[in-house]
């Protein structure tokens, strides 16, 4: 297949270079030191912590509001205008991670952004405390902008798969609305929700474009550290440590994807 050859050349070679580089010293001999220094250096530890925290809270918040929004939309008319608009808009917004999103947020929550100015006129000074658009919180707020639509996209099929007959059956057996939710809807939906949240997590963990446009490579998350290490922005000769960080990032994403595969199998039991 020409396609497989193509992927092997244009993805395989860069990937090989990353793994190879992460396991060699600057002189070219084999070593594990690059990985060791990613675990001992306080900066890299902090970067991993920041990345995980950022991915965790944006995925949980995105999942919560995403499910809520999707449920609100689905409760409406099946072919209605609301559904049409939300489904197209989700496709578009989920796709707008990256620099346009970053600048939209600078215009909104930056030091002179519209929301910042509006709140200041109302007597709330966002920038009085630690809040900056370049901080983990500021960047995270921008991430949620694509996490919620992504959740809506991922979870809508599962919500649609909840058959009305199940609710009718539960009600005719005397279940209240609450017990229907507790014993039918939530157990059926749980694997899908967990799976979608994992995707959101991976999405935020490996994302860099938005943070790059908002904060340059100064925000201490893992992709920014890789960027710095490779371009020698802070210390020269750290390239291979950067590559080791890259390998570790891939491993985290692989774990997330395996988890996704496992819950997905479980989700298919009831929802087709």
Cβ-based nearer residue to other proteins, 53 or 92:
92
Q: What is the DSSP letter of 27?
A: T
In the complex, the smallest distance separating the C-beta of residue 42 from other proteins, rounded to whole angstroms, is 21
Q: In this chain, which of 37, 108, 134, 135 binds other proteins, going by CB under 8 A?
A: 108
268 exposure class (CB count in 10 Å sphere: 0-12, 13-18, 19+): exposed
Q: What does the alpha-carbon distance between residue 151 and residue 221 come to, in Å, rounded to a whole number? A: 23
> How many positions of this chain bind other proteins (CB under 8 A)?
89
Helix (H, G, I), strand (E, B) or coil at 76: coil
Q: Which of residues 190-219 bind other proteins (CB under 8 A)?
A: 199, 202-203, 205-210, 212-213, 216
Work out whether 48 is an interface residue with other proteins (CB under 8 A): no
How many CA atoms lie less than 13 Å away from 89 in the CB half-sphere?
11
Question: Binding mask 165-194 vs other proteins (x if CB under 8 A, - otherwise)?
Answer: ------------------------------
Per CB under 8 A, which of residues 9..28 are in contact with other proteins?
Answer: 10-11, 13-18, 20-21
Contact, 31 vs 24, CB < 8 A?
yes
Confirm or reject binding of residue 237 to other proteins (CB under 8 A): no
- Copy the structure tokens of residue 269: 């039991």
Output the smallest distance, CB 266 to other proteins, in A. Answer: 19
Q: Which C-beta is closer to other proteins: that of 7 or that of 53? A: 7
Q: Are 159 and 70 in contact (CB under 8 A)?
A: yes
Q: Tokens in use for 224?
A: 């920014």
Q: Are 226 and 246 in contact (CB under 8 A)?
A: yes
If one asks whether residue 139 binds other proteins (CB under 8 A), the answer comes out as: no
CA 101 – CA 245 distance, rounded (Å): 26
Q: Which stretch binds other proteins (CB under 8 A): 128-136, 156-164, 177-185, 262-270?
A: 156-164
Q: Is 32 or 99 the residue whose CB approaches other proteins more closely?
A: 99
User: Using CB under 8 A, which residues numbered 57 to 76 contact other proteins?
Assistant: 65, 68-69, 72-73, 75-76
């Amino acid at each position: 297949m020409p396609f497989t050859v193509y992927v092997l050349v244009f993805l395989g070679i860069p990937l090989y270079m990353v793994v190879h580089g992460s396991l060699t010293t600057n002189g070219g001999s084999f070593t594990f030191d690059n990985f060791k220094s990613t675990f001992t250096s306080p900066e890299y530890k902090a970067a991993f912590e920041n990345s995980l925290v950022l991915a965790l809270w944006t995925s949980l918040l995105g999942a919560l509001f995403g499910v809520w929004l999707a449920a609100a939309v689905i409760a409406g008319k099946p072919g209605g205008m609301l559904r049409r608009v939300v489904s197209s808009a989700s496709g578009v917004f989920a796709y707008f991670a990256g620099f346009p999103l970053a600048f939209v947020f600078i215009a909104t929550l930056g030091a002179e952004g519209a929301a910042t100015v509006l709140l200041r006129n109302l007597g709330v000074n966002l920038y009085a405390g630690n809040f900056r658009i370049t901080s983990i919180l500021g960047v995270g707020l921008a991430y949620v902008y694509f996490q919620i639509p992504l959740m809506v996209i991922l979870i809508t099929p599962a919500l649609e798969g909840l058959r009305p007959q199940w609710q009718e059956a539960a009600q005719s057996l005397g279940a209240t609305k609450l017990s229907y939710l507790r014993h039918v809807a939530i157990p059926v939906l749980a694997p899908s929700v967990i799976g979608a949240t994992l995707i959101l997590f991976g999405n935020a963990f490996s994302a860099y474009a938005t943070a790059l446009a908002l904060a340059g490579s100064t925000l201490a998350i893992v992709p920014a550290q890789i960027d710095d290490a490779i371009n020698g922005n802070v210390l020269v000769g750290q390239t291979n440590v950067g590559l080791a960080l890259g390998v570790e990032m891939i491993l985290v994403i692989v774990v997330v994807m395996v988890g996704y595969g496992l819950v997905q199998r479980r989700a298919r039991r009831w929802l087709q």
